[in-house]
Amino acid sequence: MDQPPKSPDPQPADAGGSIPHCYRHPDRETGIRCTRCEKPICTDCMVDASVGFQCPDCVRSGSGTGHAPTANQPRNIAGTAVRGGDPRLVTKILVGLNLAVFALVLVPGTGDRIVTDFFLLGAWPAPPDFVFQGVAAGEWYRLVTSMFLHKEIWHIAFNMLGLWWLGGPLEAALGRARFIALYLLSGLAGSALTYAVAAPDQPSLGASGAIFGLLGATAVLMKRMNYDMRPVIALLVINLIFTFGGSNIAWQAHIGGLVAGVLLALGLVAAPPQRRSLVQYGAFGLVFVLVLVTVLVRTATLTV
């Protein structure tokens, strides 16, 4: 999420090909490996085993569980059942939604009104004047709507490329419901920190908070799968340099989204199997409560 007008705000790019492809479906990226032969497998090929996942070849050969491939329903790294269909469905919907809103913003006259009515604005006019517009005036929807707003072509291009590159593998690894929750809560955390720290009358917009959340979650998953962390660390460092070195960039949104993405991903992939649901729901609940408290406290300071 950036402050208009802005200078280019580079978003996370593909981590240098560090994510392998399924040995049976070379066009599919995956973060999962067979626990027996260590071949990369996609969510359609992996078979749930007593420890981790196995490929169909190991299951058929009897080197793994000894069960037929249909004996256990495949599960992703977050422990949820793998569903059929397009593994990038939610990612495509999010990209399409952002592009649709951007198309409306380009409409002469109407576009400017959409931006003004839905970008993130803490309070206007700024205290001590009476506040009648912004989140502090009760327009909480701006915390969410601002995540889907972009004014410049380079802005939405960087954000949508980041969403496409990072979203597909994460959606396949976490499942659709958890992925969309990760995306929205990361973006909401970025909005909340921007609201809490930035000048109350400074408008901001963009999906950067959510994208940084996906970047943080990708780092956690790569660590969990014992992949080489150097590419994603380099990518993160580069983006943080631009975040704090550029002008008119809402660094609060980037940091808020990044921290939320890391916390949520830790809850999703590090939970013990016997308490997986409790830990995962608890992680989402904790981040939501932190966001809510942040917004309430900031609102109180702007309206007293």
The total number of residues shown for the chain amounts to 304
Q: Residue 5 corresponds to which tokens in the numbers above?
A: 């007008």
Cα–Cα distance list, 29 to 20, 132, 216 (Å): 6, 49, 18
> How many angstroms separate the CA atoms of 74 and 276, rounded?
16
d(CA 303, CA 131): 7
- In Å, what is the CA distance from 225 to each residue of 52, 151, 166, 218, 280? 11, 38, 16, 11, 18
Q: What is the bridge-based pairing of β-strands 53-54 and 47-48?
A: antiparallel
Distances (CA, A) of 297 to 132, 196, 302: 18, 8, 9
- Active-site residues: which are they? 208, 254
Q: What are phi and psi of 21, to 5 degrees?
A: -120, 150
Paired residues of 21 in beta bridges: 29
Q: Return d(Cα 276, Cα 175) in angstroms, integer.
A: 14
**b/e per residue 211-249 (b: at least 16 CB within 10 A):** bbbbbbbbbbbbebbebeeebbeebbeebeebbeeeeeb
Here the tokens at position 163 are 């969403």
Nearest Cα neighbor of 80 from 48, 36, 39 is: 48
* Tokens 């256990």 sit on residue: 72
